Structure 1
């Protein structure tokens, strides 16, 4: 796609009742509807009305009780994402359905089967956000004393993704013939057994679900560490990432896109979509008032807990109005390395105290926060999009449903007016709308290659 034809891709990141750690206290937030299907249905249909590419659900496998007061002050429950997205597939028609599933505490066969099923149920709209677990509390729920080392988690993740995609290719696209007269439901010759034996997994296969509508559900990755960037360059089709400045985002964009060629991939095979936390007002003053109110509503313990978890370092013993203490070197961090470095750099660059830093990241959690009028929000998105920093954005509304409705009603029309964003969906599947190629089955690739060699 030429530069002039490129259009912004958008994901709607649902964290209920909003991304701000104090969103549940915001007067217009629907705090009691964290597990309400009707609420999620309304949000998904709002995103579809706004022509979003996808709705996106984060997930985790533990409630961290390290900060007891924060457990009482923050939202700690959420629905299991694949269950919820399966239900949402029946009440939406176009918007993609993206779920986070960790490779650290799951098995490849289960993950392959669930996403293949969701892709069929939704008519080709499933996406898998591949993550490695960074919360030590999760290990305790799976019979482990602690997390694997960061490098080992990514080593396991790379093999995990390979097994899942191999299982998705168990059947060729035209394997099912449904020949009633001939008593042939499926062509046995088009079934392929994986027989994977690796460092982390032994998986025979084949998968007992037909090849997904999209060939493979779209693979999303969120890590921005060195191992994360390499894994993304080899396997991911969308990256959700966090950057504070245009320059940082441009460097990341160029770095990851520059790694694709060695894996036989083109730049358009991967969409980079930084997270954006927009506070929207009809005037700049209104946006500033919303921001100030959200900051006032943050319980101190909840703010310290959030920041401590994001940097994998307990800040509770330190004065909240003092600077960050001396933090460990990056190599000593076994949690999220890229987020640790981003927040450490932010505090140093702007001279932030612990309180000021948690106020700064209490909504965006290290992603970029922008506030202002619809026009100024669009200006900033356009600058990153045209400036080689992003192919699109993962929108993180501060509170729901209002934050999403404001973006759809006020910012989307401004982007459309500028010719930067679709007015109708381009196709039926998530791949169609993202402009991603449907992967050919390995057997088809072999036949194509054999045909070329014969002709040659």
Structure 2
């Protein structure tokens, strides 16, 4: 199986930063991130993944409610990827970059440069953004409608790919004797004119080391799965049961044929949060402590996109019916509505259930967690995992010291890197330039 380490601010659990052994300023401590990167590479992780948004992404109703959110001060991912790639040699780095609030040329240039700087270890998680807060930072009063965001994303990706193909791999001859720097027959100017973008090109950077950076995609809605079928090499998803995971896996892989691709062209990698202990009781105690540290205001803010403002309710009141629709993460909203159908659950219980940002939480020993990971893997629920530590640094080190060796002992995870680029290590083919086909 493939493994990614998904780092989120001060940790993926809403109460994690308040744990006694948590580093409260982890989100912007570059020394800690370098330490984690070196540790992840020593454990042979395939990549570190930085989920990102270009705003303080919270649905909090006011500043007072917002003040309980620990995901405020975070690194800009491309900057930190450049720094971390300099202290590692084989592990890859992926980051979310929005197609809604960026321009294709900027993204193509930055990622091409990073792929060269890292010597071929970069990936792009294509996202359309889900928060209204991002819209407010880019001259809009509201977020683009969900379907329109995906139409823009489709064209955005096409433009970026065309820019990366501006130059064939051997276009730059740099001949001192003749004075000719590149072969003009190997220059392909995009001249793109579309519904959303007009981009002449070419890109002022050589073709990336990997041809293209590895492309990840995180949408699970209908348009999200359609985009994944066309471009994704890693599909990042949130599933909470093996049955749901297997159904999603089959659905997204079957969609590849519509775009002339094979199922092996992509890896489905759901997110999980392992909460471990040396014994089951120790793990349960840690999980319970984490839940107790979620401030109610933080939990209520997270429920606003699906339920509206619930501050007028008692936390032990039953959860009211979810809103009919949302312009946020549609697949997550639909999954939540399905989960609650016909059930009675209190607001407090729902807050605790959603403490891991919707991802599957595995509580147990390294052995029991490896059992579940293996079960999903062998029953075609995934090709690997994105692991979200609840806080830093102790749970991260436990993944390196406890969980990875257990997976390796079972023959489920590699013990050495297969190559030098991220594509090499993930077993993904390097895209051939169109002119060479």
How far apart in 2 are the matches of 1:316 and 1:392?
Answer: 39
Q: Select 1:400's aligned residue among 384, 388, 392.
A: 392
- Whether the 8 Å CA contact 2:9–2:73 is kept in 1: the answer is no
- Alignment of 1:70 with 2:62, yes or no, is no
CA offset digits 1:363-411 (Å, max 9, x no partner):
x211111110000010000000001110000000011111111111101
- Whether the 8 Å CA contact 2:26–2:392 is kept in 1: the answer is no
Where do 1:275-354 residues align within 5 Å? 275-309=271-305, 311=306, 313-329=308-324, 332-348=325-341, 351-354=344-347
| Corresponding residue SS for 1:375 | helix
The count of residues paired between Structure 1 and Structure 2 equals: 434
Q: 1:346/1:46 Cα in 2 relative to 1: closer, same or farther (>3 Å)?
A: farther
- Alignment of 1:31 with 2:13, yes or no, is no
Match of 1:127 in 2: 123
Match of 1:228 in 2: 224
How far apart in 2 are the matches of 1:171 and 1:122?
Answer: 20
TM-fit CA distance, 1:312 = 6.7
Match of 1:15 in 2: 8
How far apart in 2 are the matches of 1:323 and 1:162?
Answer: 46
CA offset digits 1:271-313 (Å, max 9, x no partner):
000000100111000000100110111111011112324x373
Which piece of structure 1 moves more, 70-79 or 432-441?
70-79
| Corresponding residue SS for 1:70 | helix
Q: 1:392/1:317 Cα in 2 relative to 1: closer, same or farther (>3 Å)?
A: same
Match of 2:423 in 1: 431
- Alignment of 1:187 with 2:180, yes or no, is no
- Whether the 8 Å CA contact 1:173–1:441 is kept in 2: the answer is yes
Match of 2:373 in 1: 381
Match of 1:60 in 2: 53
> What RMSD over aligned residues (CA atoms) do the two structures have, in Å?
1.3
TM-fit CA distance, 1:350 = 5.9
TM-fit CA distance, 1:17 = 2.1
- Whether the 8 Å CA contact 1:276–1:393 is kept in 2: the answer is yes
TM-fit CA distance, 1:347 = 3.3
TM-fit CA distance, 1:356 = 0.6
TM-fit CA distance, 1:348 = 3.7
Match of 2:37 in 1: 44
How far apart in 2 are the matches of 1:74 and 1:21?
Answer: 8
- The alignment's TM-score, normalised by the length of structure 2, stands at 0.97
TM-fit CA distance, 1:349 = 6.7
- Whether the 8 Å CA contact 2:49–2:94 is kept in 1: the answer is yes
How far apart in 2 are the matches of 1:125 and 1:318?
Answer: 49
Match of 1:199 in 2: 195
TM-fit CA distance, 1:131 = 0.7
TM-fit CA distance, 1:319 = 2.9
Q: 1:312/1:429 Cα in 2 relative to 1: closer, same or farther (>3 Å)?
A: farther
Q: Which runs of 5+ in 2 are unaligned?
A: none
Match of 2:97 in 1: 101
